[in-house]
Structure formats: structure tokens, C-alpha cells
Amino acid sequence: FPQKESGAPATCMGPASTQDLNSSYGDGMAGECSRKPDQKLPELRGMGDLTMFSSDSSYLSSRGRMIKWFWDSAEEGYRTYHMDEYDEDKNPSGIINLGTSENKLCFDLLSERLSQQDMQWVEPSLLQYPDWRGHLFLREEVAKFLSFYCKSPAPLKPENVVVLNGCASLFSALATVLCEAGEAFLIPTPYYGAITQHVYLYGHVRLAYVYLDSEVTGTDTRPFQLTVEKLEMALQEANSKGVKVKGLILINPQNPLGDIYSPGELQEYLVFAKRHELHVIVDEVYMLSVFEDSVGYRSVLSLEGLPDPQRTHVMWATSKDFGMSGLRFGTLYTENQDVATAVASLCRYHGLSGLVQHQMAQLLRDRDWINQVYLPGNHARLKAACAYVSEELRALRIPFLSRGAGFFIWADLRKYLRKATFEEEMLLWRRFLHNKVLLSFGKAFECKEPGWFRFVFSDKAQRLRLGMQRVRQVLEGDAQMAEDPPPWQTQEPSDQCR
């Protein structure tokens, strides 16, 4: 987006890019700072000074204009999709969405369970104001649920649980209570880009990018690998620019990479954070969507003796693992009671109805249904869908990352770019959209290498087949270009990039 010269509100924002479909808003926003209109924040990777808004409404405050700007700059693909959404009967030529990370494979299992009689219950307490942390009966079930599935060494405590309407609200609340306006969180890239707006809109908190790349430098390394050395470098750069970093955000399993941090890696990151007195927010929203038996996923709550438990905050939700992104249930687990209380105070704006809290408690306590019906069925369907898209990509000789977790494959389409630029990446993305298939492109996740795309596979077989057919049509149209790969496309796929 072009920058305006002056006269803008006293806010500082980084380069806005087109956003991942889950949020549909601009990416890379920085924070508001206390400054005069002609002052600029120090330049920082991922956080420049974007002093413009497309909204100039005289009815809104500067904050309101900024918030409206997010909406006005929503991704064209998201809007186009909703105007021409595929329907097998009503709109068979509509757009297939392989860009939004939602699990659409298990509606039959969920609708049957949610329709059972124990879910239909009303009593006076459910219609009255609750404890803003959530009803005690729900927090008790969440603590038991996380203790079991996170394999915590000791039972987790209900007093450390806060429930609210999704992880987006939770990111926003944590950013607001942990940081001053203009301070920052470290975050490895590529990352789920909607976090940018989650931490900025209320808290005016920035993101300092820890850029990762696909290069494999040895037998013990993997593409886009996060290391403590890279964290240290990003922190030093932020400090050198006068930006105060208050925390680190980790997503495990990672979105969009599908990567999984080992217990040793988690411990190293937590020790790094303790050394610098940083909070660590660990988003484990895909923890039950690890569908390959050979993958050794470990929750951070399973670690013996967290290095800094007062600064370690874990979030989880039903939106991904239970395919309920529209129901809006999320939870925070933190041993820091000051943080829990501050977040709970914001839950008066982000709370759940008593009826939904009852339903969630019933669902989470039904261990037999979860273990014997839902998880086996969900994992089998995810595995089959992932295998299908993987085979389609292999047939096209496209390298990709897939670790057996999450709903997506991170695919390397760099050989289809005429030049190694994000402009070329956008042109390829638009060719997909023109052919009625919607993907998420790398810039939406602040990937520093143009040409990576996220393919979401957690959809019904018929839509997947049609979507991949349309992808193939676009890429086969560029086949001649692929036969003569550009000079930057020389690295062979590793074992993790296949």
C-alpha cells in the first residue's frame, strides 16, 4: 500500500499485506505509540511506519478509522469467495475454498453428539451473570480435559483456567494485559497472520518477526527451523531499534508449517524466554489434530518443571480440534493469578453464554465418545484427505512440507514464478482464484520467500478433488515455465520437504 506523507493519526503500523483467509485482514501491523504525528517509530523487521488509512470517515475517532481500515483492506479473495461460493447443487462452478483452515470432515459426528438430550439443559444459573472466568463446572472440566490430553505431570487446577469466546479474543486480551502500547512480541515467521490484528486492535501491540527460511544446512536441520540463535538475533535487533519486547508467541503444532516442536526445543525456547524475562504464549489449538501415529507431539503442559511458570501461558480451543470454529470457545491456562484475573476482567466483553458453557462441559467430560468415536474418526479422515492432496502434489512434482498435524500442507510453488517476487506470487494466486480455487499465499503468513502456498485439505472428498483439478489446470498452464526452473529454485527437497 502506498504511504501518505503526513496528517495521519498518531499510530505506527508495519507493511500491510493481504491476509490469510481465517482473518481476511491486512498483515504486519505495528503498534500505536505516544508520539507527535510527524514522529516515526524506529524501523524494525516486520514493523515499518505505515501512516495511512483508507478510511477517512469524519464520524470515527483515529482508532475507529484504523479499525475500519482493517476491514476496508480485507483480502479480495475472501470477498470474492463469499460472492461466488461453491455449492454442489446451487453453484457447482463456484469457488472452492482450500484456503481457510477449518475442519469440515466431521459434521456428522458432531451434530449427532450435540443433538443428544444431555446437551439440552436450562437452569436459572445458566441464564444469569457467571463468574467472568467461566462457570466453575466448566473450568473444572477444562482442567481435567487438559490434564489428560496434555499429559501434565500433575493435575491442572481450575483456578488457573479462564474461558472465553475463542483464541482471537484470548490473543487480544493477553496482549492488552501483558504489554504497553508500542511494545512487541517475538513471533517466528511464517505464522498465522491474523495474530497481527488480534494483538494490535485493542492492545496496540507490535510483532517482531523471527524470519525463518527453507534452507537445510545439515542432516540435523529441517526447513523453517526455529533456533534459539535466531530468537536471540531478532531480540537484539528489536532492542537496537528501541523497541521493547515483552514476550514470545509459539504455535505448536505450527500454522502454516504443520511443524511440531520437540520437548527439547520447547525447553530451549522457554529457557531463552526466562533468561530475558519474556512471557511465552503457547497456542496449542491443533494439539488433538496430530493424525500421524509416528509424530511425537508433546504439549508444553507435559513438561516437568517449566523454567518460568509465572510467564508461561497456554491456550487451546475447540475451533480446530473439534471442527467448531463457529461456536467460539477458547481457554487460557496460566499459573499467574494476576494475568488470569486481568484476562477474566476482559471476559465480560468476550464471555460465553451459560448454555454454551454447559454444552462444552458435557462435551469435554465425555471421554468415551472423544476417544472411541470422535478422535479415531477425525484422525482417519484427516489422514486420508492429507494423503490425497499429497499424492496430487507429488504427481505435479511439487515439494511440500507435511508433518501429519493440522489441516494443511505448506507447498513450494516457486518454480511457477517468473521472478522471485511477491508480485509474482500474487499473480499466481490470482490465476488460481480466476480458475475458481482459493488458496492462501506465503506473504499472508509473512514468509520471506515468495512462492510458498498453504493448501487446506480438511474438506470433503468431492470438493478436494474438484479443487485440486482446478489447481492442476492452472499449474499445467505454466508447465513450460516449470520445465525450465528459475535460478533461485535449485535446492532439492529434503526428507521433511517432499
Q: Which domains does the chain have, with CATH numbers?
A: 73-107+371-476 (3.90.1150.10), 122-366 (3.40.640.10)
CA distance 280 to 181: 18
For residue 243, name the pLDDT band (cuts at 50, 70, 90).
very high
CA distance 418 to 118: 58
Give the β-pairing of 96-97 and 437-438.
parallel
**Contact at 8 Å (CB) between 386 and 455?**
no
- Beta-carbon neighbour count of residue 54 at 10 Å? 14
Beta-bridge mates of residue 189: 211
Quick check: 220 pLDDT over 70?
yes
Quick check: 490 pLDDT over 50?
no
* pLDDT given at position 130: 87
* pLDDT given at position 20: 37
Q: Concatenate the DSSP letters of all residues of 227-262 into one string.
A: -HHHHHHHHHHHHHTTPPEEEEEEESS-TTT-----
Quick check: 392 pLDDT over 60?
yes
Q: Which amino acid is at 263?
A: P
**Contact at 8 Å (CB) between 218 and 243?**
no
Residue with the bigger pLDDT between 8 and 441: it is 441
Quick check: 475 pLDDT over 90?
yes
Quick check: 5 pLDDT over 50?
no
User: What's the average model confidence in pLDDT over 459-464?
Assistant: 97
Q: What is the mean pLDDT of the chain?
A: 87
* pLDDT given at position 55: 57
Helix (H) or strand (E) holding 453, with range, is strand 452-456
CA proximity to 314, closest of 295, 336, 329: 336
* Strand runs labelled E in 261-319: 279-283, 312-317
For residue 479, name the pLDDT band (cuts at 50, 70, 90).
low
Beta-bridge mates of residue 207: 185
pLDDT tens for 19-32 read 333 333 333 333 32
Quick check: 83 pLDDT over 60?
yes
**Contact at 8 Å (CB) between 315 and 332?**
yes
Cα-based distances in Å from 6 to 50, 282, 423: 11, 38, 27
Helix (H) or strand (E) holding 209, with range, is strand 206-211
| 37-51, 308-322, 418-432, 472-486, range with the lowest pLDDT | 37-51
* pLDDT given at position 484: 52
CA torsion angle for 289, 290, 293, 296 (degrees, to 10)?
Answer: -150
Q: Which three cell numbers stand for residue 50?
A: 505505515
**Contact at 8 Å (CB) between 262 and 298?**
yes
* pLDDT given at position 77: 78
Quick check: 195 pLDDT over 80?
yes
User: What's the average model confidence in pLDDT over 63-89?
Assistant: 84
User: What's the average model confidence in pLDDT over 377-383?
Assistant: 98
User: What's the average model confidence in pLDDT over 275-293?
Assistant: 97
User: What's the average model confidence in pLDDT over 70-76?
Assistant: 70
- Beta-carbon neighbour count of residue 86 at 10 Å? 19
CA distance 355 to 359: 6
* pLDDT given at position 293: 87
Give the count of alpha carbons within 13 A of 103, CB side only: 32
**Contact at 8 Å (CB) between 301 and 152?**
yes
**DSSP 8-state code for residue 456:** E
Residue with the bigger pLDDT between 312 and 82: it is 312
User: What's the average model confidence in pLDDT over 456-461?
Assistant: 98
Q: Which three cell numbers stand for residue 403?
A: 508433518
Q: What is the percent of the chain with per-residue pLDDT over 70, rounded to a whole number?
A: 84
Q: Which amino acid is at 208?
A: A
User: Residue 196, Cα to own-chain centre: how many angstroms?
Assistant: 10
Q: Which three cell numbers stand for residue 349?
A: 466483553
Angle at 97 between CA 94 and CA 102, to 5 degrees: 140
CA proximity to 31, closest of 228, 312, 238: 238
Beta-bridge mates of residue 161: 333
Cα-based distances in Å from 197 to 40, 175, 271, 316, 420: 20, 11, 28, 19, 28
User: What's the average model confidence in pLDDT over 46-55?
Assistant: 45
Quick check: 74 pLDDT over 90?
no
Residue with the bigger pLDDT between 448 and 70: it is 448
Angle at 392 between CA 390 and CA 397, to 5 degrees: 90
Radius of gyration for the alpha carbons in the chain, expressed in angstroms and rounded: 22
- Beta-carbon neighbour count of residue 326 at 10 Å? 8
Q: Which three cell numbers stand for residue 407?
A: 489441516
* pLDDT given at position 79: 84
User: What's the average model confidence in pLDDT over 250-255?
Assistant: 98
Residue with the bigger pLDDT between 24 and 100: it is 100
CA distance 133 to 218: 47
CA distance 279 to 388: 40
CA distance 439 to 437: 7
* pLDDT given at position 57: 80
Who's near 416: CB < 8 A, 6+ residues apart? 428, 451, 475, 478, 481, 482
For residue 360, name the pLDDT band (cuts at 50, 70, 90).
very high
For residue 62, name the pLDDT band (cuts at 50, 70, 90).
confident
pTM reported for the whole predicted model = 0.87
CA distance 54 to 89: 38
**DSSP 8-state code for residue 452:** E
